[in-house]
Structure 1
């Protein structure tokens, strides 16, 4: 039996291999944006489902789905197969997600709340399995403080392309005069087609390591103990808040930019495209900034600047692209960095916990951050839609709303998100897990992992990501 050779990482991840690993983010991000921005108005406006029913369905499903994530995360961390730990979960989630997307994007007119709840729950479950396994796998591939920022920056940038595609499809179909296919349904078909293609691109070239576990497995009863850890509380609270702000905005985006800012549906979609395209640049730039001033300081800075830009939207001339485009571009670039930082920080905290407890918990940690994101999603759609319904806001196409109703829409769109993202940045005041501290944690982990009994050869992973020789793709046993 051969000994696993563990070369020193260069700290650099080669871009082509990292892009291949990130490929599955394209359909997942396209679906995520569509579900948050396009699907609720589609149900309410085109399928005739009431705002209360739509908001209630999303809220109920999110609250149910939250409790499944820790179980999924625990299952991932305890999985050991000849194919890897997180790879098998990524594959397993794909069929469920494809079926659920088909049923949601081809929902019948007047669909009941029960119908929406069943298929939204299935969709979010498939999304969770694939998203959690992919994030945990990324944390295993990227070992160092700097690598974490880079790989999550690339993942976010690829996700931006997917989000942009979900916005571009309805616009392009409108430009060519399409009447045969509903634009929102076309987005669903795109996601269904891209999932298996992107999955193959991700899986084939990317090896996987299985980190060493010391002692007994992490139990579900240990789940509550994580909430006694200060750094875990910081990242969970920040992730909740930084997701709630933009999520709140996403639920109201089309209503705000058409009824308040004076843009057409096409104009509003184009501005949202600007916002998202800017994230393609903003995600890697935020990663570079984080490696210069540290991740937590980068998050504090970007949340503050994002809030300032959000206020400016109310003072720009209505319907004027010249003024709105640069502000939306800056906002999109800043917002793209939020997820990069929280996901990279989560990976660092996972190393800290594994060093102290001797057990792999990264899947569970990403399950917890995913749960906070879902909680934010539940509150954003449920609260905003129901508040608008109580004020008499009419979401139907062509409806006329009073100035008071428009003012309520504006306040909901602007004030809440500013409070949320500023609090998210404040969560990391006094945070100590910087690059120097993490380097010491990794040194101790690498020394201990040198005695791993069964592991995928890390050299193969480094060779795939850096292009440097020194490894095999098979399982080595000491």
Structure 2
């Protein structure tokens, strides 16, 4: 059954404010904390890593709890509502923080932000997996999810350069504050829209999950493989995103506003590329489309070292090409995860959709946290100073260039190798879906 665009739009609407908590937070918040709020690079890297180490183990517990939830309004709605309240409180603490904030306060605010994000994201994506059991329609469902996520990223990423032009003496603070207000105001409105227009499908299998069901994630070989691909594929843009502004300001010499606008070009073409990858997945298969996107990403990410330092137009063309594959892996893997969840339901007789998508959210967050936790200490070891820009030493500039280009490309190629030959194609999934319906 082909879902109406109204349903898909309402399902994907929360991605608009949630986009601010993803990659844009990794791109803008660590430099803001280190350059304007007074925290050191090493402290910021440690804070982001520690928050993830505390936060990520909560994701499977949230997913398990969602699978156990039975209420008159459904199993997903209570978690979306509660998670939204926590998310809003975290946005106030993280994005509206004042200069002189302590490392402990920064850690607490970020932890609150990400716990709320976990509850909302796990519930939303798990709900999306239940909207249809059709192999190709699932690509369309999560294609909409990624498309609106990209749109949200464009809005978020446009805020800092736009407000920097309007308030040139205020630094990046107005843009960061605006990102926070987007979450605070946008999350409850879009969640309410989803509540009104999207229905929950009854469970495929009625059961009482046990805490030991958490181990199913690691026992299922397809799930293990998918999570490995997801982690590696998230690490690649995570590293590039964490270093993006430093690279284009310190290595290429672009002013902050132009560097931010190049990031905007990157995500514009990432959004425009979503229909292309959806079409390719329908024409071939989800995993083959992922392989092609990852190889393309590796090539374009490596080529960024050749971008000119004095020609924004040519640099923008390069970033447009580099941005095309962004997002392909993320949304296609979540469509594949719905297929894996159905296969597990058929094999075990127990539906663990919430748990499976909680694992994916945990891996995605880990993929965003590790780059900051690793690359910022390396930059400090290289004696790179964010405030110096192009005045950094040659060795610091060369080290930054190497970090920005080589690891993301190698990680993308590794992820392509791992996902190649994925066995759960359209035919195999159709047989599983028919068995579940019967």
Which of 93, 108, 111 aligns to 2:101? It is 111
The answer to whether 1:191 aligns with 2:146 is: no
Name the residue aligned to 2:235.
244
Name the residue aligned to 2:149.
159
Name the residue aligned to 1:72.
62
Q: Structure 1 residues 407-416 or 102-111, which shifts more?
A: 102-111
- The 3 A distance-change label for structure 1 pair 334 and 399 is closer
Structure ID, larger Rg: 1
> CA separation in 2, counterparts of 1:410 and 1:179?
29
- The 3 A distance-change label for structure 1 pair 229 and 160 is same
Name the residue aligned to 1:170.
160
For the 8 Å contact 1:150–1:288, the answer to whether it is kept is: no
The answer to whether 1:100 aligns with 2:104 is: no
> CA separation in 1, counterparts of 2:241 and 2:419?
25
Report the Cα offset of residue 17 of structure 1: 2.3
> Normalising to structure 1: TM-score of the pair?
0.88
Name the residue aligned to 2:334.
343
Which of 187, 196, 206 aligns to 1:204? It is 196
> CA separation in 1, counterparts of 2:29 and 2:310?
24
Report the Cα offset of residue 218 of structure 1: 3.0
Name the residue aligned to 1:403.
394
Cα RMSD over matched residues? Answer: 1.6
> CA separation in 2, counterparts of 1:218 and 1:340?
27
Name the residue aligned to 2:116.
126
The answer to whether 1:57 aligns with 2:47 is: yes
Name the residue aligned to 2:289.
298
Report the Cα offset of residue 224 of structure 1: 2.4
Report the Cα offset of residue 101 of structure 1: 0.6
> CA separation in 1, counterparts of 2:40 and 2:155?
28
> CA separation in 2, counterparts of 1:425 and 1:353?
24
Q: Structure 1 residues 103-112 or 145-154, which shifts more?
A: 103-112
Name the residue aligned to 2:407.
416
Report the Cα offset of residue 187 of structure 1: 1.7
For the 8 Å contact 2:91–2:184, the answer to whether it is kept is: yes
Name the residue aligned to 1:44.
34
* 2:309 alignment partner, SS class: coil
Name the residue aligned to 1:473.
none
- The 3 A distance-change label for structure 1 pair 34 and 64 is same
Q: Which has the higher helix share?
A: 2
Q: Which residues of structure 2 form unaligned runs of 5+?
A: none
> CA separation in 2, counterparts of 1:408 and 1:172?
30
- The 3 A distance-change label for structure 1 pair 292 and 69 is same
Which of 394, 397, 402 aligns to 2:385? It is 394
Report the Cα offset of residue 142 of structure 1: 2.5
For the 8 Å contact 1:84–1:209, the answer to whether it is kept is: no
Q: Structure 1 residues 384-393 or 367-376, which shifts more?
A: 367-376
Name the residue aligned to 2:125.
135
Q: Structure 1 residues 249-258 or 27-36, which shifts more?
A: 27-36
> CA separation in 2, counterparts of 1:423 and 1:70?
26
> CA separation in 2, counterparts of 1:84 and 1:285?
34
Report the Cα offset of residue 237 of structure 1: 0.1
Superposition pairs of residues 3-42 of structure 1, within 5 angstroms:
9=1, 12-42=2-32
Report the Cα offset of residue 238 of structure 1: 0.3
* 1:432 alignment partner, SS class: coil
Which of 249, 260, 284 aligns to 1:258? It is 249
Name the residue aligned to 2:262.
271
Report the Cα offset of residue 179 of structure 1: 6.0
Q: Structure 1 residues 105-114 or 50-59, which shifts more?
A: 105-114
Deviations 1:287-341 (A, max 9, x none): 1211111011111111001101111111122232222222212222201211011
Report the Cα offset of residue 198 of structure 1: 1.3
Q: Which residues of structure 1 form unaligned runs of 5+?
A: 1-8, 448-478
* 2:273 alignment partner, SS class: helix
Give the length in aligned residue pairs.
436
Deviations 1:113-145 (A, max 9, x none): 211111111111000000010000000012210
* 1:141 alignment partner, SS class: coil
Name the residue aligned to 1:370.
361
> CA separation in 1, counterparts of 2:131 and 2:244?
36
Name the residue aligned to 1:468.
none
